[in-house]
Structure 1
């Protein structure tokens, strides 16, 4: 998908024209008009009386089309759907949250979107600001002063307009702000009284074409010239491919830049696919954390180009604990513009020699132009000197662990056009074969467990009609925290395949308790206490079937898994969502747990924990 941030707001033949001013009779009608002209294809919601006026306008003015309502069973899932949709399209979906209680329900998902730099337009509501119009009891407890204060530290902008004209301007500003880099969620709180206000005359409707977001910023020519010079003179350049666009042309330009420089490339499983993992210059399998081989690779580089690498500071301090990298560091990013004093998601400050303040893909394009003009000076690295990515470790014929699950999925999917919507902690990076920017969509941003089902469904919705098979591999804890999001996929005909890597535990915390026990010389056998999701085991397939999925499980051997995947793919291709409950051995593939005490850092290596 291409970058939609600066796309003109137009209505194509599949999108009906917005109502004209004479058809708007209520305040909420004007807000609905704005939703259509922006345009917003969908609005995810859990119904609530605080926006009953807007709900009526969506149904009886717009005909539940453009935007179409996506009914969710929890506000957190509504926001997660929009987040997943944005990961594919790079443009916002609308969300409606009911009053202060709905905003509190949705706040974790909003934080995820904030950390992941995802554009979302969130419409909240409050009971009547005019106290004389509040119904007894319920309107009072659902009315808050400065409601956006609940989430203001992790949104880009908010407003509570007091008139119809102000509401229309708020909608346009929300679109502008959400779609400007760095992307992020925005929040508008609509007073019930404003929504239900009768219009005495047709409102003055703005021309939305005059309120479009601009093109993403480009680094200065001086800085780009210096970056090109540094890269051309590098003997051992390295590219850290981080938060970049989903556009296929941008993907090819990243490949071209690496090939012109002969630069090795690292990518990160916390973010979406950024570079082909099977390319000879992709030096190591993508991972969630730096391994010793990645540390060695960074340590031997003389120039490092960061393309909005997530946690560049933490990465550099891992390799150079004194904060003085031997390599020269170039960092192309706009992320510093999202810093505030509440959330620490901006990570540790990075020692950077040259900051390219701009969208990373714009920097790549500009660097290629400069390198093309100096082609004779380019000496690409011999590809034969670059180690090929390692293959996933072999597994026994009977063991069903993450490696076996990854290999079985890979074997059955083969060359089928697939998008991995989510992969769990501990997934073997060597099994990742990413050849297109939509092959993998990354993690959730804020590590808010329970986000997986909703985000996967939103991403699958965005992929409908693309010819891609949407596949999400989720943990059992993540699934159960968000399990009632599944109904929305069945209700709205959103086909996808969810494979649950079910270790019947909150295993990440099991691993942490193991590491703490080892450091304190306490019984490792107790690591499971308070962590197990067993006795009784949860019937995940039954949970999914109850909400309209085709589901199988528990699956405990590889051959049964292989046949079940084939059947599940057939269901998805018929337009039916499917879920497989796969019981896997508890453990990560060569994983690590890192934690710090007051006076030391402990890294505990482990294989397959039982």
Structure 2
């Protein structure tokens, strides 16, 4: 029986804790395919392989699936791709894994270096000359935490362990390994394979604040009249959420979640003031008002806490700003990312500290400070308590007004089309019995803020986004999250829902994503917020040229950002005259009829029949949820919004 470097590589992945590998095979992987079949034939893993192989017809979907797997489990998966072209085909998923701090190990083969049968695995196909690029790693290096070439089977386990140790240490992220085909075909003795043992890599332990930093931040919060906490992804560590809630509750500190990628604060928390992507709208205006009025701002785990050109803390720089980030507080991978220069001149302290640890330190210091003590401290302590009590009352009123506004948006009739708030309200109602076991994977893009607010998420881990800006994440991430949930054995998710918009469905390569879902029985619900194209580029244009040529009432088709077009010569085409993709049927076709799809369109008749339309929406969503939960099939609901 032949054992190779590939045998050792796959065993090292298993010993390191990798359970799944999302693969897109090529000519650089003969030894791996042979090793996996050896495992099956010999029954080494009860007829299966280790790690388990998930075939992915598209590389970007493979990486997005690994992304979702990591979000569901907190652990990395592996992705295996084909030389330089497969590396390129990872596309924007690399950006998302980097910006979302997602641990994942990516392996790519490379063209053989020999061509005259000198070494097993040498070049024997014409493509191997074309795919031998000067620096394959350069394609992805700037997005990786670590890159390395595997040069021998004798130390492949060391390379794997080091890569995963870096991938799982803050700032977490992707790592990239590669090897020539001859190296992976190198035969190794059975004794080396049999004796290979390795414990999962141990990441660097999280760090806390220094005593001086803890005291400075705490004293600032205690003395503050108008403190404010801003966070974006503290909820990636669910244990940090309870610490954040404690701090907010003890001192009645309002919280805003800007550009969130995780549930950082339960929606019902009385001091949560809003969730915003800082785009025009009521939530952004509320955020600007409170940010400008804050005298102490504590930024915890946020890449974009505010946008300097539209909002910032006090313009005179008098607001005291403190930054806590466990991975990259200076944003060294962002070319213009320094806090002091790019965001606000009032930044007083930048701390590299784990949020759960740091917040816990501050909470303990706060409790020590306001605990009953000597007589001379009573006056100060009482003053702080009175201030907190007054702030608590004001904050609860702000939260209540925010919730009332959202309630109103969910019942308002604005047009003949359903609205995002109405869709989210209907989804909440039909999924209420299983809300505690539901996961939303969001990629609503121009409707990010509305979806977050009206989803009203309560539980840490119940709503995630990619953490990056490349579209095409949600569909594959749903597959990975379901697979990860099965591995964890917790059965956290009874329903996984992708909410996509602005072309994210098409970017997600649905033909591949739904095929994988069918093959590995990972049913999920997809809700498409169909505005007929890319709304975001139009909004970007209006943000720079508010009174330009494109500022009029132009259609998406006229601006070349639309996905539907007039197929007739009719100067006033009806909805039926317009040609646009039938998204649900793409999923049906990709799964040979297994998936289910339906469109929720405009109401019938000249006058809007809102109640009829909303009833249709709710009935459709209820049927879709039933298909996913009871029939274990994917369902796609295409919700037609008002067009661009």
Structure 1 length-normalised TM: 0.86
**2:380 is the counterpart of 1:363:** no
Aligned counterpart, 1:420:
440
**2:393 is the counterpart of 1:384:** yes
**2:348 is the counterpart of 1:330:** no
Aligned counterpart, 2:104:
120
Structure 1: distance between partners of 2:327 and 2:202 = 21
Structure with greater proportional helix content: 2
Structure 1: distance between partners of 2:198 and 2:330 = 26
Structure 1: distance between partners of 2:617 and 2:22 = 33
Counterparts of 1:192-591 in structure 2, within 5 Å, are 192-200=181-189, 202-203=191-192, 207-209=197-199, 211-287=201-277, 289=279, 291-312=284-305, 314-315=306-307, 318-320=310-312, 325-336=317-328, 339-340=331-332, 348=342, 350-351=344-345, 352-376=347-371, 377=381, 379=385, 380-382=388-390, 383-386=392-395, 387=398, 388=400, 389-390=402-403, 391-392=405-406, 393=409, 394-396=411-413, 399-415=417-433, 416-417=435-436, 418-424=438-444, 425-427=446-448, 428=450, 429-442=452-465, 444-464=466-486, 465-475=491-501, 477-482=503-508, 483-484=510-511, 485-514=513-542, 518-521=546-549, 524-528=552-556, 529=558, 530-535=560-565, 536-548=579-591, 549-556=594-601, 557-574=613-630, 575-586=632-643
TM-aligned CA deviation for residue 178 of structure 1: 0.3
Structure 1: distance between partners of 2:287 and 2:6 = 54
Structure 2: distance between partners of 1:121 and 1:81 = 13
TM-aligned CA deviation for residue 345 of structure 1: 7.1
Aligned length: 563
Q: Output the aligned Cα RMSD.
A: 2.6
Q: 2:317·2:344 contact (CA, 8 Å) conserved in 1?
A: no
Unaligned runs of 5+ in 1: 1-22, 587-609
Structure 1: distance between partners of 2:550 and 2:352 = 49
TM-aligned CA deviation for residue 24 of structure 1: 7.4
Q: 1:246 to 1:73 in 2, by over 3 A?
A: same
Q: Which sits farther off after the overlay, 503-512 or 146-155?
A: 503-512
1:151 to 137, 140, 151: 140
Q: 1:306·1:330 contact (CA, 8 Å) conserved in 2?
A: yes
Structure 1: distance between partners of 2:389 and 2:360 = 21
Q: 1:196 to 1:345 in 2, by over 3 A?
A: farther
Aligned counterpart, 1:48:
26
Structure 1: distance between partners of 2:37 and 2:430 = 43
Structure 2: distance between partners of 1:262 and 1:331 = 19
Q: 2:313·2:319 contact (CA, 8 Å) conserved in 1?
A: no
Q: 1:446 to 1:131 in 2, by over 3 A?
A: farther
Counterparts of 1:90-129 in structure 2, within 5 Å, are 90-129=74-113
Counterparts of 1:131-146 in structure 2, within 5 Å, are 131-132=115-116, 133-146=122-135
Task: Report which of the two structures shows the higher radius of gyration computed on alpha carbons.
Answer: 2
Structure 2: distance between partners of 1:342 and 1:355 = 16
Aligned counterpart, 1:178:
167
Q: 1:402·1:585 contact (CA, 8 Å) conserved in 2?
A: no
Q: Which sits farther off after the overlay, 198-207 or 268-277?
A: 198-207
TM-aligned CA deviation for residue 545 of structure 1: 0.9
Q: Which sits farther off after the overlay, 155-164 or 221-230?
A: 221-230
Q: 2:70·2:102 contact (CA, 8 Å) conserved in 1?
A: yes
Q: Could you list the per-position Cα deviations for residues 468-507 of structure 1 after superposition, in whole angstroms to 9, with x for gaps in the alignment?
A: 4211111161111221212111111112111111122122
Query: Matched residue of 2:142: which SS?
Result: helix
TM-aligned CA deviation for residue 522 of structure 1: 5.4
Unaligned runs of 5+ in 2: 40-44, 117-121, 372-380, 566-578, 602-612
